[in-house]
Chains A and B, each alone.
Chain A
Amino acid sequence: AQKVTQAQTEISVVEKEDVTLDCVYETRDTTYYLFWYKQPPSGELVFLIRRNSFDEQNEISGRYSWNFQKSTSSFNFTITASQVVDSAVYFCALAMIYNQGGKLIFGQGTELSVKP
């Protein structure tokens, strides 16, 4: 079965701390795609990153970095030097490319609160 687990329901940090959001996925497919989305308090879903199963290179974008490890089926997201504007719910998602038109399976989300 395809599944995404974000075990951390809520995380609270103080500004400038580093924080890592965990994402563990399950799939039997050899080709798949993983995503992270941000949902700020305003409610929209903002795309952050997409990664395919054949590319295990870590990625860094400013204060954001992602660590993809197929061996542990994890796709973790780290925010360095967190800021108040990073406060949001973050969703990890897995694309089922062989089923239902490529639907996204979402984790339950991690609510990050960054306090000044």
Chain B
Amino acid sequence: NAGVTQTPKFQVLKTGQSMTLQCAQDMNHEYMSWYRQDPGMGLRLIHYSVGAGITDQGEVPNGYNVSRSTTEDFPLRLLSAAPSQTSVYFCASRPDRGRGETQYFGPGTRLLVL
């Protein structure tokens, strides 16, 4: 199993550009989520999905869109990048045995918005 994979590893954008951060998992997990990590703030939930076709907002959803057309993939879209979106983005997935199960994280995508 590859686990949770994310692409790209690093991206530089100009303000106003759009892009999609890719996330995939091969563990057949129904639950997937996106977090952003900022210095001194730990990780904060952006969006999550409890299964294909079902998504919902987390703590900091503004400026981001998600969709979940398959169990495996959960892309995160930045519609119009802003410098405040400079961050490290982590995708995670979790087995379906309950909400207290462990979330496993991908390697992260480091995004710089100029």
Residues on B with C-beta less than 8 A from A106 are 42-44
Inter-chain CA distance A45–B40, complex, in Å, is 16
A-B contact count (CB 8 A): 70
Is A100's CB under 8 angstroms from B48's CB?
yes
Size range of the chain B interface in the assembly: 20 to 34
Q: CB < 8 Å: which of B41, B45, B102, B107 contacts A103?
A: B45
Q: CB < 8 Å: which of A35, A91, A100 contacts B102?
A: A35
Inter-chain CA distance A93–B40, complex, in Å, is 14
Inter-chain CA distance A83–B88, complex, in Å, is 27
Residues on A with C-beta less than 8 A from B101 are 50, 102
**What is the distance, in angstroms, from B89's C-beta to the closest C-beta of chain A?**
11
**What is the distance, in angstroms, from B44's C-beta to the closest C-beta of chain A?**
8
Residues on A with C-beta less than 8 A from B103 are 47, 104
Contact with A along B31-66 (1 / 0, CB 8 A): 101010000111111001010000010110000000
Q: CB < 8 Å: which of B40, B58, B94, B100 contacts A100?
A: B58
Select the residue from B43, B44, B50, B110 with max chain A CB neighbours within 10 A.
B43
